[in-house]
Structure 1
């Protein structure tokens, strides 16, 4: 129970990764002040209120990324803040309003509040490998990606990669703000996150697995890298509990082809009707090498992909999302 007597805030608490962060924090004895956009929406709150320890140590607050000062009540009195709230979807009609503004302005809103609240000792920010991998010149087969790699915003704009752009701009602005204001900040950069869902609705990264089963491949890629949501949530908590934690931490799994992923699913769930797609994705033939030593040094062990896929499907079936 490392968290006994400690109060932490989790923004965007009803989200996929955030829900697991809340669950693990409660299990470790923390008191959690969690923000959601609409506390009256049972889809956003029921699964959180049902967690072990929630009755005693979870309090929900209404907060919106686009509203300045809306996080003040939730952050007041906290020892640390996990800022996970940021829109995650890959297709946007108006990227500025739907993705970029909430990611960028929301992050600065939260950090600005943290600056004013003297009890806050550390901020843990959820970024993404989307803020790591979009580089010019592109990453080659001999490159090993690590925490020094940053996506190039102008390339993201050129290629209309709006989600990577939102994450890159938000992370860049956060580092600048933390530096200017002496905030102790640690950033996590997870890849595509899969694993069991706590929330009742389908999120964008797990939807990729549902897409594969239905014969769709949104990014038309041959290879994907997946990491388990529980490993990602634990990495966030280790980033708080390890005094020496600093900078960025990439957390991502090995490259897997869509074909191999489907084969594993067929083997695990012979009754699952998996649609074949022609060509199984044409793009990015090179598999990227990513170094995850830094996050392993925090004490995070990776869940094997096969187990992760199995528990993702079981969870999707339980929630009638498949």
Structure 2
């Protein structure tokens, strides 16, 4: 997650950073100014000379978070060269440390300076890459849960910038965006039938998110929707991973703000049967697999989880894993066994299961 800088000298620091980094991605065959915001023609898409080496170059919008670093490591194992966006001197130092830790991959991590709030900056960063992993998000330290109402529009705007930059960069063929299961599961149960299935076709109710002040869910929802709109309008390949709460050993130490923000409304999710988690390594593997399958026209929206918290044992386990109070996860009034059929919703990741060709859990049987 990227923290919004509040210092007055940020622009100066960033400009110094831009000058200090050897950006080897000079624009190649850039479209003329008056063509940038129009749908790419078939000729424009394929007139960029990409060999097999180019196809293994990708850019990640945030490779410095706990989850982002896990994806970078997985991509390196699969033979990719990974370009990591930096926008502060501290980011640059962290990339250098990452390079030292992954020296065995022979310099296949590159840093490139860019602002996620500026489309032109992203075009320069993406140029020469075959694909983009949009993993970034923003946090606001002043928010109660680290994610305030103010962040919703910022998240959506960055998503818009990334997608527009992808469509404007001739080398980029596809984008994989990390969304959230929260963009699917906040639905009004009174308007749905009993045991409604939530899957890749489900979208959270925007009004419900606003009424409940679920800003993190609303930010992910709006960011994903604008990404799909641009992809559909411009004929660009996009896939999104709607990930459950990311877990790992000592997750709160590595990823405190997203974990806390995700669990706002946790007891209601638990009561509805949709509080789910996914291990960070599993999620990274899914990202690489989905990205690689996109060249076979297997692109779209995928729900990703590996466990649903359905009873006291799982709730206690999650509380211990995240160091968050049990009451915040399941409250006091919800306590039912795994086979309780009174829950209004159940989750399905059948589409991802089919793609991965492995047995992934489905939290209810579908007729």
Q: The TM-score by the shorter chain falls in which range?
A: 0.7 to 0.9
Residues 1-322 of structure 1: pairs in structure 2 closer than 5 A: 6-41=56-91, 44-45=94-95, 48-49=98-99, 50-51=101-102, 53=104, 55-87=106-138, 91=144, 95-97=148-150, 99-137=151-189, 142-196=195-249, 201-205=254-258, 219-220=266-267, 222=270, 224-242=275-293, 243-257=296-310, 259-261=312-314, 281-282=331-332, 286=343, 288-299=345-356, 301=358
Identify the range of structure 1 (236-245 vs 103-112) with the bigger mean alpha-carbon deviation: 236-245
**When you count helix as a share of all residues, which structure comes out higher?**
2
SS at match of 2:303: strand
**How far apart, in 2, do the equivalents of 1:219 and 1:302 lie?**
27
Gaps spanning 5+ residues in structure 2: where?
A: 1-51, 336-342, 362-367
SS at match of 2:213: coil
Contact 2:146 2:261 survives alignment (8 Å)? no
Contact 1:114 1:120 survives alignment (8 Å)? yes
**How far apart, in 2, do the equivalents of 1:279 and 1:96 lie?**
22
**How far apart, in 2, do the equivalents of 1:109 and 1:121 lie?**
16
**How far apart, in 1, do the equivalents of 2:318 and 2:331 lie?**
17
Deviation at 1:93, TM superposition (A): 7.7
1:320 counterpart residue number: none
Deviation at 1:298, TM superposition (A): 2.1
**How far apart, in 1, do the equivalents of 2:152 and 2:226 lie?**
12
SS at match of 1:168: helix
SS at match of 1:56: coil
SS at match of 1:189: strand
Q: Deviations over 1:158-189 (max 9, x none)?
A: 11110111011111111111111111101110
Contact 1:39 1:62 survives alignment (8 Å)? no
Report how many residues are paired: 291
**How far apart, in 1, do the equivalents of 2:241 and 2:255 lie?**
22
TM-score for both structures, normalised by structure 2? 0.68
| Residues 43/161 of structure 1: CA separation in 2 closer, same or farther (3 Å cut) | farther
| Residues 170/280 of structure 1: CA separation in 2 closer, same or farther (3 Å cut) | closer
1:308 counterpart residue number: none
Runs of 4 or more above 6 Å deviation: 197-200, 273-276
| Residues 119/283 of structure 1: CA separation in 2 closer, same or farther (3 Å cut) | farther
Q: Deviations over 1:52-76 (max 9, x none)?
A: 5555110112333323423223201
Contact 1:103 1:166 survives alignment (8 Å)? yes
Deviation at 1:239, TM superposition (A): 1.4
Q: Deviations over 1:181-208 (max 9, x none)?
A: 1111011100101125799743335569
**How far apart, in 2, do the equivalents of 1:199 and 1:54 lie?**
29
